[in-house]
Copies of this chain bind each other. A is one copy, B any other.
Amino acid sequence: MSIALSNVENLLEAVPGAEVAVVANGSAVLFFVRQSPAHIRERLEALAGRGVKFYVCANSLRAHGIDSDDLLPFAEVVPAGIAKILELQAAGYLYVKP
């Protein structure tokens, strides 16, 4: 997650105004709960405040027993992270795997 956030931060510094979406699945969804470590949560909040979209996979939430009510308010739940990644690419987003 730290690498993914650095990627986004570095991208926004290099290309201000870039439209960025992050899709979290697998254990990465653990970082999107309200009790997420402060140093991660603050970076997530700062990026959300700059317009970065954060999508969290419902399949992965279920696998980790996380209720969507426990998520940070800017985390948007999608039915399947994998489908969201493909949908974003089909919409013109370029893909990078952190």
Contacts and interface: CB of A to CB of B under 8 A. Distances in A.
Contact of A26 (B3, B14, B82, B97): B3
Given A11-B83, A83-B15, A59 B97 contact: no
Interface in A41-88: 57, 59, 79-83, 85-86
A71 to B, nearest CB: 19
Given A94-B86, A95-B95, A95-B96, A80 B3 contact: no
A36 interface: no
17 contacts: A6-B59, A7-B82, A8-B82, A10-B57, A10-B80, A11-B80, A11-B86, A14-B79, A14-B83, A15-B83, A18-B86, A85-B94, A85-B96, A89-B95, A95-B95, A95-B96, A96-B97
